[in-house]
Structure 1
Amino acid sequence: MTSTGHQVTPFRQVLLKIHSRCNLSCDHCYMYQHADQSWRHRPMVMSKRIIDQTAARIGEHANDHQLRSVTVILHGGEPLLAGAHTIDYTARAIRRAVPSGTRVMYGLQTNGLLLDDRFLDLFAQHDITVGVSLDGPSEANDRHRRYADGRGSHVGVVPALELLQSPRYRQIYGGILCTVDLENDPVEVYQHLLEFRPPEIDLLLPHGNWTKPPAGRPDDQTLTPYAEWLIAVFDRWYGAPQRATRIRLFESIMSLLLGGRSGTEAVGLGKVDLVTIETDGSIEQGDALKTTAQGMAATGLHVVHDSFDQALAHPAIQARQIGAEGLSEVCQRCPIVKICGGGLYAHRYRVDNGFLNPSVYSADLFRLIHYIAGRMAADLDMKVGRL
């Protein structure tokens, strides 16, 4: 139980920052281009000592809470910079530490530039699912995802995606992560991503908040440019005779509208069950909070000294496990609060009152959810009419 009397939800997702640097210099990166610059003072690579201690904490938590499964996400920076040996060591250490009754599922998010057969063979050996970041065709992607010298990354990512969709590696292909950019044509972006046959596409709203609003998000809350961008993709995806891929945001909204669960923190009132471990062993909240203020993701805890249960007792983490009670009054009064859930936590931030605000994308989420609900209702009516 939390100090507020609510039942705690154990951590079922552990995000490991196995490398704290990157080989790209994307201008929209939440790690390097926003308020929190703690990466500058952390080791580049997670040491074997910290890996072993983290593995022990994961095993301890899984045992104490009798978890049937735990998901470990290898992350960065760019995780492939840690090298194949570090990734192999990490996967083996965690599997050794976790009880035999707990299934360990691995994921890895990469920009794809270093991805080759050597890495992919290792990932196939450990059943590590691979997600690649790509924002669309070269002009769209390379506006933000660039090297420090200004060169675009698209040309280097394409070979990695071609490898992943090959029969040899298809089983570990997790999908494509794409950050929405209003300057890009939404349908053109979607159609380009489909060329790489992703099993899933994750469309992310760019990180921003009330103190530092995202690009193109107007003060006028009657305007919904991000919703209109997403709706254009939704119409193409939903209206297709056979959907070519899953889109996590859309499927989560549809599931919530039907009384189910969300598969993303971006919508819904599900309890946050993710914890982040930095390269130095610091236990932190979700790293999107680095876009709000220096130290906002920190808990003051460390895997050498502190358990995951101690992290669960941290007030900031408890605040994200109490559902609608943790939202602003505006959100609590909203008729679609169970669907929207206040939006992504980091997007609610304002310097004068913290996170007790609707999402900076509140108007866009309201419009998008109502649109999807309308399409689903019309579709259901048509199907019922044919019975």
Structure 2
Amino acid sequence: MTQQISIAPAADSLVRRREWRASEPDSIEALQVVYKVAERCNINCSYCYYFHMGDETPLERPAYAPHAVTERLAHWMAEGCAELRIPRAKLAFHGGEPAMIGAETFGKACRTLRDIIEPVANLSLAIQTNGVLLDERWTDHFIEHAVGVGISIDGPRGANDRFRLDKRGRSTFQQTEDAIRRLVVARAYGAPLPSTISVLHHANDYREIYHYLRDLGVEELNFLLPDRNVDDAEFQVSGEAERYGRCLSEIFEEWLAEDNEQVRIKFIDQTLVHFRASVTPGAIFRRGRKSNQVVIARSDGTVAIDDSYIPALDWYSEAPVRSMETHSLRDFLDNPIFAEIETTSSSTPTGCAGCRWRNICRGGDLENRFSARNGFDNPSVYCAAYKGLYETVCARLVEGGYPTALLSEKFGAA
């Protein structure tokens, strides 16, 4: 069966941003804090951006955040949301491996965060974990504190063991799969249905991986391209980017064939929004109010910009780091780097000017656009992967009745 894809308009997608500043009240819909509550990990994924991209600072900070830092963070978020009139706050326990702090410490942190932040802003809590340490005690805390759970798993054992081994080179697969199965079963008792994050590798079969994850009972699947930047000359000439395009296309086609609206995949959602009939491609990058502002909170009580930019290490290493004791949220967001990130993210690199897909990807994620020579003024190292995906999406939409004239109008001739 071919899935019918809604192309209804997005209500606010054409609102243009006017002199947006993160530090101005009413500029942000949701504050997302990624809390590095653990700065160490119990396994050793070889592709990990946090420990294998050249940034050594995590090892200089406390292994685990003391509860005093959690309390300070809660007040910092509450005060910032009040001052900037931010209605929603999201906090994700992250690491390293956040489950290393222990279930009881985790529960205490959740209670503190809710008690202090919820009188000011609607708070959602989440944890991103490898699942190895999760047991029934953790499930009880997830239920009690309404915590969303994301579990990192790359697929069945063969795919997962390609990179996700422990520090002695042993498989982590079974513990991770067991954690997912336990949470899926516990959904009947109020536990959250876990989501998954899988890092792509072009040698894997993503039709198989899609069905493996769905057979586990997962309904929210996230797939990430490996961290690299434009200075990876060997990758640039290897032809691997096209193979990653096939990975993305396989996932899209399996999702489409399943025809289940409960199944959500972030990169598919982000792609299809541009195909809505009334949306001008690129318009979603011009908003009057930013939907989600990411800040990293660290175990030593400092805050920093989104650490997913670490692959652009030459730039990232110069980014501001501030103490929550001396700088409010508004002070921190007033740093010019946030305007730089916003402007760069919503602009098109010079090399993308002639591409029919330029208004969908805007050159790709910032960290994948970076080079020491040109900064972020480069098409993504995964440019060919995106092109392959978009061609597949167009072909399947046309098969399902999407007007070819509308495709030409939106994206130009093929």
350-359 or 104-113: which moved more? Answer: 350-359
Q: Which residue of 2 aligns with 1:150?
A: 169
Matched, 1:226 2:265: no
- How far did residue 85 of structure 1 move? 2.9
With normalisation by structure 1, the TM-score equals 0.88
- How far did residue 86 of structure 1 move? 2.6
| Contact persistence 2:364–2:380 (CA under 8 A) | yes
| Contact persistence 1:106–1:128 (CA under 8 A) | yes
Tell me the amino acid that sits aligned with residue 6 of structure 1: W
Identify the match of residue 315 of structure 1 among 317, 320, 336: 336
Q: Which residue of 2 aligns with 1:6?
A: 20
Tell me the amino acid that sits aligned with residue 276 of structure 1: I
Identify the match of residue 177 of structure 1 among 181, 197, 203: 197
Change (3 A) 1:193 1:140: same
CA deviation profile, 1:23-69 (whole Å, cap 9, x unmatched)? 10110111111121111101011112221111111101211222221
The separation in 2 between residues aligned to 1:21 and 1:222, in whole angstroms, is: 31
The separation in 2 between residues aligned to 1:143 and 1:235, in whole angstroms, is: 24
CA deviation profile, 1:198-225 (whole Å, cap 9, x unmatched)? 1200011011111236xx8442779611
CA deviation profile, 1:185-243 (whole Å, cap 9, x unmatched)? 11121121112111200011011111236xx8442779611111111121111122435
Change (3 A) 1:299 1:100: same
Change (3 A) 1:378 1:269: farther
- How far did residue 254 of structure 1 move? 0.7
Matched, 1:203 2:223: yes
- How far did residue 327 of structure 1 move? 4.0
Change (3 A) 1:261 1:169: farther
Unaligned runs of 5+ in 1: 383-387
SS in 2 for 1:319: helix
With normalisation by structure 2, the TM-score equals 0.83
Matches within 5 A, 1:43-82: 43-82=62-101
Tell me the amino acid that sits aligned with residue 14 of structure 1: V
- How far did residue 121 of structure 1 move? 0.5
- How far did residue 311 of structure 1 move? 2.1
72-81 or 309-318: which moved more? Answer: 309-318
Tell me the amino acid that sits aligned with residue 376 of structure 2: F
The separation in 2 between residues aligned to 1:328 and 1:35, in whole angstroms, is: 26
Tell me the amino acid that sits aligned with residue 315 of structure 1: P
Change (3 A) 1:45 1:27: same
Identify the match of residue 186 of structure 1 among 201, 206, 212: 206
- How far did residue 289 of structure 1 move? 1.8
Matched, 1:284 2:284: no
Tell me the amino acid that sits aligned with residue 159 of structure 1: D
Change (3 A) 1:362 1:268: farther
- How far did residue 374 of structure 1 move? 3.3
- How far did residue 373 of structure 1 move? 3.1
- Name which structure has the greater RCO, CA cutoff 8 Å, separation 6+: 2
Q: Which residue of 2 aligns with 1:119?
A: 138
The separation in 2 between residues aligned to 1:222 and 1:147, in whole angstroms, is: 27
SS in 2 for 1:365: helix
The separation in 2 between residues aligned to 1:89 and 1:233, in whole angstroms, is: 39
The separation in 2 between residues aligned to 1:322 and 1:65, in whole angstroms, is: 21
CA deviation profile, 1:303-356 (whole Å, cap 9, x unmatched)? 111112122222222112236664422345544333213211111111223222
As a proportion of its length, which structure holds more helix? Answer: 2
Q: Which residue of 1 aligns with 2:34?
A: 15
CA deviation profile, 1:92-112 (whole Å, cap 9, x unmatched)? 222222252521001110000
Tell me the amino acid that sits aligned with residue 341 of structure 2: R
Matched, 1:42 2:61: yes
SS in 1 for 2:138: helix
CA deviation profile, 1:75-130 (whole Å, cap 9, x unmatched)? 01000001123322322222222252521001110000011110111111110000
Identify the match of residue 268 of structure 2 among 242, 245, 250: 250
| Contact persistence 1:16–1:277 (CA under 8 A) | yes
Tell me the amino acid that sits aligned with residue 99 of structure 2: L
| Contact persistence 1:19–1:81 (CA under 8 A) | yes
Matched, 1:90 2:109: yes
Matched, 1:361 2:382: yes
Identify the match of residue 399 of structure 2 among 375, 378, 382: 378
SS in 2 for 1:208: coil
SS in 2 for 1:301: strand
CA deviation profile, 1:239-286 (whole Å, cap 9, x unmatched)? 224356221111221123226799xxxx96775611111111221111
Tell me the amino acid that sits aligned with residue 225 of structure 2: L
| Contact persistence 1:269–1:338 (CA under 8 A) | no
How many equivalent residue pairs?
Answer: 373
Identity of aligned residues (%): 25
The separation in 1 between residues aligned to 2:171 and 2:279, in whole angstroms, is: 40
290-299 or 111-120: which moved more? Answer: 290-299
Matched, 1:342 2:363: yes
Q: Which residue of 2 aligns with 1:352?
A: 373
Tell me the amino acid that sits aligned with residue 184 of structure 2: Q
Alpha-carbon RMSD: 2.7
